[in-house]
Structure 1
């Protein structure tokens, strides 16, 4: 049985069972208090009208019909009227448009008396009817009789109705039916509403589950609301989104893995091919002199060293990418640290004919948490990358610093050829080379700047490039200054 049908049956039971019990209870009460079910109508009339019509009819039959002289017996009529007035009922007797008797309550209601119907047939009893007089309602019962001398006489019983009782008596069936209709409509609307609020989200979740089962995650679960189903829908949508993202990342990783294998194969094949060529040359006697033999051996050693460096960089990058390279962080005064590094670098650059210009104008007293060896590797990779592409007669590298709020910024500039605009966004990607020839003299392994980015990310910092083609490239390293360290208030100086 479906949930929708269960809801429909449950709401129907909530409506039918109380109504059934109400009717049964009413019938049982009628039997208890009135003896049989047939008296239900009389009990209803008695409850709302305030008089027993059956007793009144019997009284008329056993008195006035059997002893018509009582119609003119003022003493009896006064007693009878007094008794009926206790039941809020007045008596009026008329004979051929002549008033024979009227209760005291009717003396001031001439208009009501004038509207009473005329005599029709002796012995006839009419069904009571209602008549309005001066915003008051009366129930009128008429009895047509013959007096002792055969004169036609009409006896009227006029019962004043309570406005509320009259309203309920008149409109009770309508009110009951209206209540029943409203109850049915309310239950129907509530059932429909709750079905939509519960069944539709469940159907949407079933559809989404089927799509996920079929491997389709390119959709959105449209379930909103703050109730349990809405929360379930949002949780399912979050799960779907994360699953889709994880699959996308898995595909990205797979594509990167394939690309990595391709690049490694290409970069390793070149030195291996050279080594095999020189080894074959030695074996075949091409290196027939000590000088050639030494040259071949040195070339083989250089290619082997090149392969060793490439493997080391691949291994390092792999550990960084998997976040398995531990960092030994320590707080260092950054300017003295960079000054020592720059002094060592200046000696090496002089041998290569490169001028080093140091402009450390910001960061005095600033302390930064770094792994000394890893950070030096970053600086070394940046310098090596700059040296590969320098093409001007006067080669120059500039190192300067500045403070910006609570960040320390290091800039390393060169006056090389710069980076083409289309290549600038990709220089920190692994194996990317702005110079695509893959010449080891210029292109390198394509991992230097990628390793630098991974290390700086591990330090909680950032690295980016700013280049102008033909003028040179600047690499910026941004690190956070340790909280409470001196130097935060140093003057900012543009690099």
Structure 2
């Protein structure tokens, strides 16, 4: 749910919840005071409930005192009319009963013919009684009865009858209570909704603020946890992704720095070895150690070999650097792979047999299998793999086998040897630059450490892959794959035949 919707719902709840709460509270108050909701007359069972009008109470008290002093006033119609006039504004009236006869009743009471018939009997002299609401003709009346003695103890009663609207009375009577309850409901609603919105909005914002502060202080080793899916949740996800990428970038930068230092150390070591040898032989010549033509020739040949070794290493390093920076241009051309591999196999077999290495090739490619190749770079890949295999031969009968076939639109090449194999721990690193399983870094066994790294860069530049499997002491298999394209010449021939 979006923040906008949450805010709209919270604002609506601030209006609806207090309204519903007030309605329920009012009904509960009715039930509390009455016990049911059918009739509200039970709200007036006490004096305060039946009469909440100060003017009416004052008039009743004045009349009762006057009647006690002069009972004859109740026979004075003009006096009774004055009392009726005063009570009319309060929607009340009076009735006077002498014995069993009603001698006077106000006009509002005369309209309610059933009201006087339901009046209670005489109780006791000077008795002042309050009665619950009377319901006559769908109207509610409150009743005050004042009993007195008249002329030779003749019984007389003054009734003050007020018409009451229960709802108006209820509101007037309990308005302070309802107002206080409304304030409490509003405060409680706002507190709860504010706490909810604080949890859903403010708390995630604080988490984002704390996370930004940690990043500012250079601490990226944490994880931002935001469970919501609203705008703040989306911001938190983007922030966490930014932190993760920044952390990865810094780790990568640190790795690059470590690789740079390792590269410098490797270059320094690999260049220092032949350079030290050259310097030693030059010193020998200068010191006269090579005092015969044969020694001088041997020293010069050694110096030339070491210089050639240095040149090869520099060329390999230069090529790898250009490949790594994507600055080495590729000159791709459409090449039929079958004749290319057949020619390369024949040349390789001739070279290996001179070194006493058995070579076997099995090429199962179609004649129309065409790939996009940079010929020079691809041959460098094959030669680097073969040189690596030859370098680590240890069997009495060294063997290299070459297999080529196609599958799923790719040309697959496998070069297998029966050399010393590669340790499983070292196998996953053989395509890294300057990595050698032989940590002695002997040039005769370890090579430059760039051959397979260069092969990997070239294969990736061709859209292919290179991988290795090996068993220690048994041998190694290098697997290459290249995407096969359709020979356009063959397509033209087929289209011509169709026409």
Q: Tell me which interval the TM-score lies in, with the shorter structure as reference length.
A: 0.7 to 0.9
Return the match for 1:216 from 181, 194, 219. 219
Counterparts of 2:177 and 2:466 in 1: how far apart (Å)? 83
Question: Contact 2:115 / 2:136 at 8 angstroms: preserved in 1?
Answer: no
1:271 aligns with 2:264: no
Tell me the residue number matched to 2:252.
249
Gaps of 5+ in 2: 1-10, 16-49, 491-499
Return the match for 2:477 from 458, 469, 474. 474
Gaps of 5+ in 1: 1-10, 16-48, 488-495
Counterparts of 1:316 and 1:115 in 2: how far apart (Å)? 126
Q: 199-208 or 212-221: which moved more?
A: 199-208
What is the 5 A alignment of 1:279-290?
A: 279-290=282-293
Question: Contact 2:112 / 2:136 at 8 angstroms: preserved in 1?
Answer: no
Q: 105-114 or 253-262: which moved more?
A: 105-114
- Deviation string 1:4-52 (CA, Å, 9 cap, x unpaired) is xxxxxxx9xx99xxxxxxxxxxxxxxxxxxxxxxxxxxxxxxxxx9x99
Counterparts of 2:352 and 2:238 in 1: how far apart (Å)? 59
What is the 5 A alignment of 1:116-127?
A: 120=126
Closer, same or farther: CA 233–484 of 1 in aligned 2, 3 Å? farther
1:176 aligns with 2:179: yes
Return the match for 1:234 from 234, 237, 244. 237
Tell me the residue number matched to 1:142.
144
Closer, same or farther: CA 332–481 of 1 in aligned 2, 3 Å? same
Closer, same or farther: CA 186–207 of 1 in aligned 2, 3 Å? same
1:342 aligns with 2:320: no
What TM-score, normalized to structure 1? 0.73
Q: 431-440 or 300-309: which moved more?
A: 431-440
What is the 5 A alignment of 1:348-387?
A: 348-362=351-365, 365-387=368-390
* Cα deviation, residue 348, structure 1: 2.5
Counterparts of 1:297 and 1:115 in 2: how far apart (Å)? 151
Closer, same or farther: CA 56–185 of 1 in aligned 2, 3 Å? closer
Question: Contact 2:223 / 2:240 at 8 angstroms: preserved in 1?
Answer: yes
* Cα deviation, residue 340, structure 1: 3.2
Question: Contact 1:416 / 1:470 at 8 angstroms: preserved in 2?
Answer: yes
SS at 1:359 equivalent? strand
What is the 5 A alignment of 1:3-402?
A: 54=55, 93-95=96-98, 113-114=119-120, 120=126, 130-131=132-133, 138-142=140-144, 144=146, 149=151, 153-159=156-162, 161=164, 164-165=167-168, 168-169=171-172, 171-362=174-365, 365-402=368-405
Closer, same or farther: CA 60–425 of 1 in aligned 2, 3 Å? closer
Tell me the residue number matched to 1:436.
439
Closer, same or farther: CA 110–59 of 1 in aligned 2, 3 Å? closer
Aligned residues: 439
Counterparts of 1:477 and 1:111 in 2: how far apart (Å)? 118
Closer, same or farther: CA 87–55 of 1 in aligned 2, 3 Å? closer
Counterparts of 2:141 and 2:389 in 1: how far apart (Å)? 115
Counterparts of 1:105 and 1:486 in 2: how far apart (Å)? 119
Question: Contact 1:137 / 1:163 at 8 angstroms: preserved in 2?
Answer: no
Q: 65-74 or 456-465: which moved more?
A: 65-74
Closer, same or farther: CA 347–310 of 1 in aligned 2, 3 Å? same
- Deviation string 1:71-106 (CA, Å, 9 cap, x unpaired) is 6799x999x99xx99999786544567766785787
Counterparts of 2:111 and 2:156 in 1: how far apart (Å)? 20
Counterparts of 1:147 and 1:85 in 2: how far apart (Å)? 27
Closer, same or farther: CA 157–322 of 1 in aligned 2, 3 Å? farther
Counterparts of 1:305 and 1:111 in 2: how far apart (Å)? 138
Counterparts of 1:451 and 1:135 in 2: how far apart (Å)? 110
SS at 1:423 equivalent? helix
Closer, same or farther: CA 95–260 of 1 in aligned 2, 3 Å? farther
1:415 aligns with 2:402: no
SS at 2:233 equivalent? helix
* Cα deviation, residue 429, structure 1: 1.8
CA RMSD of aligned residues (A): 4.6
SS at 1:422 equivalent? helix
Counterparts of 1:115 and 1:182 in 2: how far apart (Å)? 48
SS at 1:216 equivalent? coil
* Cα deviation, residue 68, structure 1: 7.9
SS at 1:466 equivalent? strand
SS at 2:221 equivalent? coil
- Deviation string 1:241-288 (CA, Å, 9 cap, x unpaired) is 122111111111111111111111111111011111111121122222
Q: 363-372 or 290-299: which moved more?
A: 363-372
Counterparts of 1:116 and 1:322 in 2: how far apart (Å)? 119
Closer, same or farther: CA 468–52 of 1 in aligned 2, 3 Å? closer
